[in-house]
């Protein structure tokens, strides 16, 4: 299973990837998890080798100001 994780914060990428890898080991599922720090790289990689599952971690500071 190909999994793509996209976030602009390295700490979130690392934590999310570690959690997914732990889950895959517990469930005996083979995965290939790739991390991306921007959407452009994710899209380019997805076009060459599509992912089965995408984790998109988005932050919209503009909208947070409206709350």
Reduced to 3 states, what is the DSSP secondary structure of residue 35? strand
Task: Give me the mean pLDDT over the 42-53 stretch.
Answer: 93
d(CA 54, CA 3): 6
**SS3 assignment, position 30:** coil
Q: pTM for this one?
A: 0.80
pLDDT band at 38 (very low <50, low <70, confident <90, very high): confident
Q: Where are the domains of the chain?
A: 2-58
> What is the rounded average pLDDT for all residues in the chain?
88
Task: Give me the architecture of the 2-58 domain, per CATH.
Answer: 3-Layer(aba) Sandwich (3.40)
């Amino acid at each position: 299973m190909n999994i793509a994780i996209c976030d602009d914060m390295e700490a979130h990428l690392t934590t999310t990837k570690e959690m997914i890898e732990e889950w895959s080991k517990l469930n005996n599922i083979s995965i290939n998890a790739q991390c991306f720090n921007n959407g452009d790289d994710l899209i380019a990689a997805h076009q060459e080798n599509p992912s089965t599952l995408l984790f998109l971690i988005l932050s919209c500071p503009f909208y947070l100001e409206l709350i």
